[in-house]
Every structure is written in structure tokens, then in C-alpha cells.
Amino acid sequence: MPDYPQHRPVTMATHGLVCAPHYLAAQAGVDLLKAGGNALDAAIAANAVLQVVYPQSCGLGGDLFLLLYSAHDKRLHALNASGRAAGTATIERYRALGFTQMPDFGIHTVTVPGCVEGWGVASQRFGRLGLARALQPAIGYAGDGFPVGPGLAHALARMDTFAHTHRSFRENFMPGGIPQAGSIATSPHLARTLRLIAERGPDEFYRGEIARQIVDFFRREGGLITEEDLAAHTSEWVEPLAVRFGDLDVYELPPNTQGVTALQMLGIVDGLPLGDDPRDTETVHIEVEAKKLAWADRAAYLTDVKHMRVAPEKLIAPEYLAGRRALIARERVGASAAPGTFAGDTIYLCAADGEGNAVSLIQSNYRGFGSGLVVDGAGIALQNRGAYFSLDPEAANVLAPGKRTLHTLIPSFALRDGAPAVVFGTMGGDGQPQTHLHVYAALARFGANIQQAIELPRWVHGAARAGEGEVLLLEDRYPQATVEGLRRLGHHVALTAEWSGEMGHAQGIVIDTERGVLHGGADPRSEGAAIGW
């Protein structure tokens, strides 16, 4: 085992394991396993609890994607539970509203929330205890109260300073002022909404009382989403895409996610030698150059798969990856197109049980709390995922009625010889594919364990904001020789904190099928934990 720094131990278990960015969520998932549930029950329970205790990164008003390995049929299944733009969301309508580009926040960034329907279809197909049981821990925390963590307290204090923070947000999250870390908070409106979903099913969110609350809110605020938009929403079981990386077959969801971007990076690097250490100049340089090439394709092609100009499979075909790989120069930096940004707030969690089932789940409202609006009386913080669309008619991800936007959310899953091997993902917006490459390289190329791979210093390439100059951001734990070496090659290097939230919050499980042992890792950059049973 390589002697990489490791501040937390690997969590090892045989009956089940849940890794989440908040310890109460991970514990709720394990409680479902102990109650007789499976990995999917545990994942939904953890996700729902996160929406109560960690709402700065996810919520009922957001979208969801998951990969699930079923021990029953020994297959990997992929669910796209992302919502679509309103049926009247045209470029012309937005220009008539006064927009020359997509707004970042507000009612006109909201797309139909897909999370609840995703929970429902996944639970119905693969769950054991049912959705109502999986939601009980979250209902308890929302109604009875929970201790406010430092991350939530800080996020609410920041929201109080933003111009886009809506009256409805303050009334929901700050009725008595900004809560302090360690104080007890409740979410009574969210508790009621979750209880209605548990009692009446997910359909309540799209066609019932909750749907009426959502639509009434949009009417009052001048938004575009209607009863018809909610009622028409559906999730889709899709075929995941994969590339070979070392001895692993790494799987990601197809577009409208940026999973192809992660696969391109992995596929390009798989055919190249790296340095002797994941932290050295040569390794980081090759990985960053692969990122630049994948990002150029992301900007050119990726969007709702029904609107793409090229089949996503062609972007990860061996001959295409070989051509992209040949463009990398080991002795200098290459050009960069559409570098992306460092912004991103999401939750990623994973769960595995002792029967061989495992789930990789990611869920988000996009930019922190999302749009800055909360449905009055329902506690539903609405996502601003529509901000990712473009009003440029020539752009791949141009806005269109009923269209799904390009999504940063990407859970991943790796098989070895057809058996589940790695369940992994991270929050971090545009940084997510970059962290996928970083961690898979640490595991498959450098022999790190899952906790070491997550704790290793990370880099992310992009810009602080769209339109600003690109920079290679490194955590200040990289060796000075690496920093100097990258600068000599021409990289615009900047250093950030030793444990920076800009690098995302990753969680992962490595599955030892031969011994029947689950190895879990949780990111110290978050308030998370890997809890086993």
C-alpha cells in the first residue's frame, strides 16, 4: 500500500455501508439497512435527510441521477431523474422578459424538479421497504428539529447578503433570524410536504396538492412552469456509457449529463504514462491537458441527448480518443476552450449492502440553495438548473421548450470483470469530471485506498466566473516542486486552502467481492462520514 497521507481510516464493513456528506444522513441510511432495507432504501433515506440538514446543497426542488447495481439481475441500471424547461420557455420569451443571456438566479432559472419522481420510480423498481419508510428519518428531523451544522450556518449567512435571495427564502429558512451553528432548527413546511409524499406517493408532487402549491407560487411570481409542465414530467431508465481505465470499466450516465466528459478524460489518460506519484508535475500536467480537450467537446456537443448533433458514443470511441490523446504535448500546455467555472453545490452519496446491491446517487439544486426562491408553505427550495442553458441559438445547450439542460451531476460506478468494484462521485459543478479522473487514477494507477484517494491534494482547472481568465487551482498541499514545474510548463497556477471546498466533496466505496468486505471513504472537506454495519 502506498504511503500517502491519510487522516481518517477506511471504514470497513460486511453488512452494509453508507457514505454521505453529512453524518446524520449516513447514519439514517445505515438505520434503513439495519431495518431490513437494501442499498436503494438506504440511499433514498440519506438523500432525504440531507435535504433537511444540508439544504445548502440539495432539495426537493432539484434533480437526481443514480447508478444502481442489482444483485438480482447482476446488471448496472441508470436513472435520469432530471426535469425539463417549461413548455413556453423559448429564446423569444426570455428576450421579451428583458434577458440577453440566461439569468443566474430567480424564477426564470427554475426547471421542473425531478427528484421526487426519481425517488418514486427507483423505490418501486428496486426498493424493499418502500418510499414512505425511507422518508421517515427526514420527516423526523424536519418536524422535531436538528442541530445546525457550521456549513449550513455559513451558507445561510451568505444568502442573507445576496440580492437574489427572495422573500420566500428568508421566511422559510430565517423566520427568527439567521440560525447559529449548534442551534436547533426545524423545517415544518418541508416536514408536511415530505409527509404528504410518504402518505400519497410521488404523484402528489406533480399532480396533487403539492403541485397546486407549486403552480400557484409560479403564478404569483410570474414564472413559466404550469400544471401541464409538472404533470408531463417523467424520469427515464437509460443505458450507461463506459470506458476502460486500467483494469476497471468505468460507467457514467449519458447526456444530458457531463458523464461523457469524465469518460473522455479517463479514456485519453488511460493510453498515456503518468508520473511516479499522483502529486507530481507530470501526472497533473497530463490530467489537466486531457481535461482541456474533453471540455472543448463538452462545449461543442453536450446537451439533452435528443438535441445533440453527434451520438455521445462517438465521443468515447477508441479511435476518437486516440486522436484527442495525440494532441497532448508533455513539454508544454495546450490551448483551452470553454474552461468552465469553480462554482458548484451538490450532494453525492453512495450505499452498498451485504447482498451485493450498490447505489451511486447525486442530487442538487445547482448553485447552493438554487434559484433563491422557496415555494410558500411547502418548504421546497427551487433549483436554478435552467441557468445552465444558453440564449445563443448556435450553442449546443441552447434553451428550448421542454428541453433538459446539460447537467453537471454525474454519479459513477466501476466494474471489474463484470463485478461491482468502485462506487464513486463528488459534488463540485464543473469540477466533478476532474475529480473523477483524479480519484480513479489514484485507485487504479497508484494503488491508493479509497480514503487516501479522496484525501490526496486535488487540482481543478477553470475560471472563478464565466468569461474570466482560466487558472489551474491547486490545494496548498502539493509539493513546491510540482507547483514550480507546472508553472514552467505554462500553467497559470494559483493555490487555495489545504482542504478547499472548491475541490468538491467526494465519497466512495470500494467493493472486495472476493472477501465480501466493503471499504468506504468520506471527504474531510465536508461534514460527511462513511458509516458501516
C-alpha cell at 7: 487522516
Phi and psi torsions of 42, nearest 5°: -65, -40
Cα dist. 290→182, 210, 312, 502 in Å? 43, 45, 18, 20
The answer to whether 391 touches 91, Cβ cutoff 8 Å, is yes
The answer to whether 115 touches 147, Cβ cutoff 8 Å, is no
Tell me the torsion sign for CA atoms 164, 166, 172, 177. positive
Dist CA 225 CA 113 (whole Å): 10
In the block, residue with C-alpha cell 487551482? 473
* Annotation marks residue 341 as catalytic: no
Q: Where do runs of H (alpha helix) occur along 232-317?
A: 259-270, 281-301
Q: Name, in order, each residue with C-beta under 8 angstroms of 129's C-beta and a sequence gap of 6 or more.
A: 32, 35, 36, 37, 41
E-assigned strand segments in 201-260: 236-238, 241-245, 248-252
SS3 call for 92: helix
**Nearest residue to 427 via CA among 338, 496, 346:** 346
Q: Name, in order, each residue with C-beta under 8 angstroms of 167's C-beta and a sequence gap of 6 or more.
A: none
Cα dist. 49→132, 187, 191, 308, 463 in Å? 13, 12, 11, 36, 32
Cα dist. 13→17, 237, 517 in Å? 6, 30, 6
Dist CA 243 CA 263 (whole Å): 6
Cα dist. 297→241, 270, 271, 337 in Å? 16, 18, 19, 9
Which of 346, 426, 435, 482 does the annotation list as catalytic? 346
DSSP class of residue 368 equals: T
**Nearest residue to 237 via CA among 463, 70, 450, 25:** 70
- No. of H helices and E strands in the chain? 17, 21
Cα dist. 217→50, 403, 452, 507 in Å? 24, 22, 46, 36
E-assigned strand segments in 282-371: 345-353, 358-366
Catalytically active residues, by annotation: 346
